[in-house]
Amino acid sequence: MSKVVLPKTMEGKTILVAGAAGFVPSTLCEFYLKQGAHVIGIDNFITGSRSNIDLLSAYKKFEFHQYNIYEKLPNFKDQKIDYILSMASPASPIDFAIIPIEIMRVNSEGTLKLLELAREKNARFLEASTSEVYGDPEIHPQREDYVGHVNPIGPRSCYDESKRFAEAMTMSFYHKYNVDTRIVRIFNTYGPRMRANDGRVIPNFITQAMKGEDLTVYGDGSQTRSYCYSTDLVNAIHYVLMSSDPTPFNIGNPDEYTVKETAELVIKILGSTSKICYLPLPKDDPKRRRPDITKIQTYSDYKPLVTFEDGIRQTAEYFRSIL
């Protein structure tokens, strides 16, 4: 098994990123723009930020189209596209209750449209899937060959099941049409450009600590999460995109913390006077979440570089600038 050899530059390459106004996708767009690629962003701003697109628009090789990808894609008739990255889905628990149909449609109809475009353009396609495909896992840490423990009608099912569908659709295009596909399963990620009201652990805790409010921990806080800083995640995506393996890769940081430990660390790192309060645990909330990243480390030189302390400080600096 040979290691992934990364190109020295992305000059001359065109990369389409669906969901470009989002937190991770906009970071990925900037990564490729800095490598010299022409980047095409698409977003409908259902959860994405216009300020992220404003930042990307400072680059000469960035172009943006405001579209809802499950309804229609822009006309790329005469345009060369080398890579298509399917990253358009909202991924926050607060979105699951508010826009469940939109989430299901973007991961089904939207993924289908992007795959059809990849087939037409002979482009490499990457599906940004999620650790949520494992549901509330019965094995720990989670390996790529684990098929999951998912509630198909639960409060998280709009996201869990539509991402499982997106993976199946991606593999179907690989097998039936020989489309050059890749799949990444993204574990908990944090960093600048997240929404302050995202509803996930890190933005919740940082904004509460900055305001001197109690940090809300659900359940007794013994459930675990593994947090990957956004730039480390982008490096992992790049390795997988440049690999030759169409089967899923876990990407993230295997360092594991209980939610209670996370709250205590955020308070300590930010020098906050906040306390911790406890609320009932939501239904189907995963008890343990940690990626086994043996596969990506076998294929590449990937390893997370940003410490949790540094990542929290940098994320907090971003939130101070927007709150």
Q: Which residues contact 261 (CB under 8 A, 6 or more apart)?
A: 221
| Tens-place pLDDT, residues 97-107 | 999 999 999 99
Give strand ranges (E) for the chain: 14-18, 38-43, 62-66, 83-86, 124-130, 181-186, 189-190, 215-218, 224-225, 228-229, 249-251, 257-258, 276-279
pTM (two decimals)? 0.96
* 286 has a pLDDT exceeding 90: no
pLDDT tens digits along 1-26: 578 989 999 999 999 999 999 999 99
- Tell me which residues are annotated as active site: 159
- Write the pLDDT tens digit of every residue in 198-255: 888 999 999 999 999 999 999 999 999 999 999 999 999 999 999 999 999 999 999 9
Residue 278: pLDDT band by 50, 70, 90 thresholds?
A: very high
Is pLDDT at 196 greater than 90 in this prediction?
A: no
pLDDT at 1: 58
User: Which CB contacts under 8 angstroms, 24+ apart, belong to 149-156?
Assistant: 151/284, 154/283, 154/284, 155/96, 155/97, 155/282, 155/283, 155/284, 156/93, 156/96, 156/132, 156/284
pLDDT in tens, 134-173: 998 999 999 999 999 999 999 999 999 999 999 999 999 9
- By the 10 Å C-beta count (0-12 exposed, 13-18 middle, 19+ buried), 321 is classed as exposed
pLDDT-derived band at 285, boundaries 50, 70, 90: confident
What is the percentage of the chain residues whose pLDDT exceeds 90?
Answer: 91
Give the pLDDT confidence score for residue 287 in this predicted structure: 86
pLDDT of 284: 76
In the chain, the domains with their CATH numbers are 14-190+228-253+286-304 (3.40.50.720)
- Nearest residue to 312 (alpha-carbon basis) of 238, 218, 221, 215: 215
Q: How confident is the model over 287-301, as pLDDT tens digits?
A: 889 999 999 999 999
